[in-house]
Structure 1
Amino acid sequence: MAEVTRTHVIEDLQVGSRVVVRHRLPDGAASDALGDLVAADDTTLRVATRRGEVTLARADVLAAKAVPPPPARKGPPHTAIGTDDLERVMAEHWRPLERLDLGGWRLRASEGFTGRANSALAVGDPGVPDAVERVERFYVERGLPAVVAVAHPADGLGEGDPLVDDLTARGWTVRTPTVVMTAATDDLPAAREVALPDGLHVETRPEPDDAWLAQYHYQGAPTVPAAGRRILVSADEQVFLRILDGTETVAIARGSLSPGWAGVTAVETAPSHRRRGLGRRLLAEVADWARDRGAASTYLQVQADNSGARALYGGTGFTVHHGYHYRVAPSA
């Protein structure tokens, strides 16, 4: 049975990610191993390919990079990707301070900052019959509520799924039903197509400055803790945008990157500047940034009951891919 194991990192590749590794063969020719990176140490890499697991000597590796997941169905990449694979992609854009793997599940903890970084991502098989109990122990040991993130079709809350039904029977309550929306990056508007009101301009930075952080209010929190600052810069690459009215920051967004994918998070507009097209301009700015980096697809997440935001995103080219929500264990 699978045990909880720590995530290992080989240079900028993470165990569990899909990779292509070009390596030297005994006759001097080169070949590619495409699959999931299952293990890495100082001398070897192990890659699970379609033909079985292969062990490669690091001395024979010519190049290695992470690649997007394979399509689960026909269609463009942003719709062809499967739900579990897209959940794994999104997890790489918002990495926790601590992660332990339980089979295919990811147990994440980050001092309580955001649900994404403090929940067990329940995708794949945990490999053990007592997975829920292990999740509970993991969070109790860290002084955090036990939370499971459950992905499901956009309609409903995953009723009929064995895990959902089990958590319901245990009394785990629903929190923050959310819709995941995706788009082909090339179909999104460019910044030059979305004019700003007179007197406003855009600034971008690779890290959030104090003015950006002051405008970011995750679920009403007045300040971003140190844990949050680390999570915000946890992706392979990210960009922080703000729209200024003179010297005042009136809207912000964060773009992030993983192989083949861009993500849009932390979109906020000051109440005084809403309904002026600032959100649409921020999306266009992220799209330009993503196109420059070769990200074919873009995703975002929006609370299911936020009809205004869903209309905005739908109007720029995003469509619903799937839904997810959190299940929270009963208080002790």
Structure 2
Amino acid sequence: MTDPRPTHVVHELPVGARVVVRHRLADGSASDALGDLVAADAATLTVATRRGEVVVARADVLAAKPVPPPPARRGAPHTAVGVDDLERVMAEHWRPLERVDLGGWRLRAGGGFTGRANSALAVGDPGVPLPQALAAVQRFYAERGLPALVAVPHGAGGLGEGTGTADALAAAGWAVRTPTVVMTAATDDLPGRDDVPLPAGLHVVTTAVPDGAWLEQYHYQGSPTVPAAGRRILVSADEQVFVRVVDDGRTVAIARGSLSPGWAGVTAVETAPTHRRRGLGRRVLAEVADWARARGAASTYLQVQADNTGARALYAGQGFAVHHAYHYRVAPSA
């Protein structure tokens, strides 16, 4: 029987990512291998290109970087990207402390800080029959003292009924947790800081790492403090910015922006209850948009719980539209 244990731990460029690897040929010229990185070890990188797999010796690599996924359909990049590809993009903005691959699935652990960093991202083929894949997921999280969660992406509306993974999880008694929608926009279409003036007496501070004042305002799921694992995950993207609005020395609104090739992400948008309905949410979004534009990100995404109608209205008013949805499934024993 095939052992469904994950086959490798991922480091550096993430295996499964779309990359371009410029490498030296035997005659001294250079060539680019563009496609999915399907294997990486100490000696070689293997890229699945349109013409077949290309194995590149690390000694011959001149440059290598991740690139945005190809469009799944016609349209602007933020609408044309496929669901699975966008999920992989978003995963690079909120990297776990540990990631192990099971076929196309990503098993992620991050000390229990957020579902995004502590769930199995079910995209692609796990490489084994689904019951074996779910057993591997349960074993992975049991070994780390965490509940077994599977993140299930699907089209907007419903809970992915009619798809193999969602239906199998439902039949096995895995309960639904945190239905969420993913919204996207063309970065150039988003309002900037000049479009969203601050109320008199307030000012904005931006930093490359979260300072104490930013962390004090960040209350993920009501938690009063950010654990050490969370502080590491907050700075896990290729680049990030931490925005806060200050009123008389007190931080009253925050947001985090993050970057990957072609994409910006917005997370951790919060406004103090005393300062709501003053446009501060729109202003921190505008700050992230300007930061993203300056770095060439063509598209921006964010995630919001499906039942948070106020936040969804705010984001729609800024130009975001629903791209797809996802939810978590938690194992019956968790």
TM-score range, shorter chain: over 0.9
Q: CA separation in 1, counterparts of 2:312 and 2:279?
A: 14
Superposed counterparts of 1:143-292, under 5 Å: 143-292=145-294
* Contact 1:3-1:103 at 8 Å conserved across structures: no
* Contact 1:172-1:328 at 8 Å conserved across structures: yes
* Contact 1:202-1:244 at 8 Å conserved across structures: yes
The answer to whether 1:20 aligns with 2:29 is: no
* Structure 1 equivalent of residue 45 of structure 2: 45
Counterpart code for 1:306: N
* Contact 2:43-2:58 at 8 Å conserved across structures: yes
Query: How far did 1:3 drift?
Result: 4.9
Cα distance per residue 1:69-95 (max 9 Å; x no partner): 111000010000000000000000001
Which sits farther off after the overlay, 143-152 or 32-41?
A: 32-41
Counterpart code for 1:286: V
Counterpart code for 1:86: L
Query: How far did 1:188 drift?
Result: 0.4
Distance 1:41 1:161, change over 3 A: closer
Q: CA separation in 2, counterparts of 1:14 and 1:180?
A: 22
* Structure 2 equivalent of residue 92 of structure 1: 92
Q: CA separation in 2, counterparts of 1:163 and 1:43?
A: 35
Cα distance per residue 1:112-170 (max 9 Å; x no partner): 11010111100000011111111111111111111110001111111111211111111
Give the TM-score taking structure 1 as reference length. Answer: 0.97
Q: CA separation in 2, counterparts of 1:138 and 1:93?
A: 22
Q: Give % identity.
A: 78
Equivalenced residues, count? 330
Which sits farther off after the overlay, 58-67 or 126-135?
A: 58-67
Query: How far did 1:283 drift?
Result: 0.7
Query: How far did 1:31 drift?
Result: 1.5
Query: How far did 1:7 drift?
Result: 3.0
* Structure 1 equivalent of residue 69 of structure 2: 69
Query: How far did 1:223 drift?
Result: 0.7
Query: How far did 1:290 drift?
Result: 0.5
* Structure 2 equivalent of residue 5 of structure 1: 7
Q: CA separation in 1, counterparts of 2:42 and 2:332?
A: 44
Counterpart code for 1:107: L
* Contact 1:7-1:15 at 8 Å conserved across structures: no
* Structure 2 equivalent of residue 106 of structure 1: 106
Secondary structure of the corresponding residue to residue 14 of structure 1 = coil
Secondary structure of the corresponding residue to residue 257 of structure 1 = strand
Counterpart code for 1:328: V
Give the TM-score taking structure 2 as reference length. Answer: 0.96
* Structure 1 equivalent of residue 305 of structure 2: 303
Q: CA separation in 2, counterparts of 1:196 and 1:85?
A: 36
